[in-house]
Amino acid sequence: MSGKYYDLDLDESFINELKETLAYMVNPVTISVFVDEECETCEDTIKLINTIADASPIKNGKKMIEVKIYNKSNQEDLKEFQKQGVERVPAVTLIGGLIKYSGIPAGEEIRGFIETIMRISENDSGLEKETREELAKLKGNVHIETVITPSCPYCPYAVLLSNMFAYEAYKQNNPKILSETVEAYENMDIAEKYGVMSVPAIALNGVVSFVGVPYEEDFITYIKAAAENKLKQMVPKEEGEATGI
């Protein structure tokens, strides 16, 4: 599969661009990578994440991005798989698993992944004040699954929004949201379960709620409905841009 549906072009211009962006990191960020021996895209995932970490600046004698790699074949590492709720490989997680990528964050998705790292490092979700207040009050848990493909130019925007909802809830000491980015080609069973024809497609607690990039004010409305188990009263929305799968 490797190379058929995503480009992993870690050339000098990409690395220079990474260095320029990551130079503005404020606080250190830890990235966890979960792999297995028999996994077609695991090697590329490790290579990508290590390249990003290597491009991060050094402050106080340490790289600002720390990478931790966990292998399913290592008995000791299985505890971390369980702790962060990782069942599929490769997986890449931030903030202890509340932000999770099931599948390699390659192609167009690298942009959203880097922006997610930067916002966590800067301790700023970029969300509106009203959204932040609503996330602090959420009662129930919400699992956001954003189904994407590496070639979709709009997917990073949907993923970034989902990730920032999870991050802001975490910041508000109310970690009720899990934002999971699902790479469709590596997880065809999930894409088929939701009948995904266009990406990004966003499911909330197992219910497809958006096709395309949501507006922040609509997204928080649906997140609240999911948290209160009222999604069945809502109509799925098509917003923003989407790409055929």
Q: Which residues of 32-55 are buried (b: 16+ CB within 10 A; e: fewer)?
A: bbbbeeebebbebbbebbbebbeb
Q: Which of 187, 186, 99 is nearest to 143 (CA)?
A: 99
The Cα–Cα gap between 17 and 21 comes to 6
Kindly provide the residue ranges of all beta strands, DSSP E only, lying in the chain, ordered along the sequence.
29-35, 58-59, 62-63, 65-71, 91-94, 99-102, 142-148, 177-183, 198-199, 201-204, 207-211, 237-238, 243-244
Three-state SS string across 134-162, please? HHHHCCCCEEEEEEECCCCCCHHHHHHHH
User: What is the pLDDT, as a whole number, of residue 4?
Assistant: 66
Grouped pLDDT means (10 residues each) for the chain, 245 residues: 71 96 97 95 97 96 97 96 97 98 96 98 98 97 98 97 98 98 97 96 97 96 97 83 79
CA-to-CA dists, residue 42 to 35, 37, 70, 78, 124, angstroms:
6, 8, 11, 16, 30
User: What is the pLDDT, as a whole number, of residue 41?
Assistant: 95
Query: Of all helices (H) and strands (E), which one includes residue 236?
Result: none
The alpha carbon of residue 10 and the mean position of all alpha carbons in its chain are separated, in whole angstroms, by 20
User: What is the pLDDT, as a whole number, of residue 38?
Assistant: 87
pTM of the predicted protein model: 0.95
Classify the C-alpha dihedral 24-46-29-205 as positive or negative: positive
User: What is the pLDDT, as a whole number, of residue 63?
Assistant: 96
CA-to-CA dists, residue 195 to 22, 191, 192, 208, 214, angstroms:
37, 6, 5, 9, 19
What does the DSSP 8-state code read for residue 37?
A: S
User: What is the pLDDT, as a whole number, of residue 3?
Assistant: 46
User: What is the pLDDT, as a whole number, of residue 2?
Assistant: 43
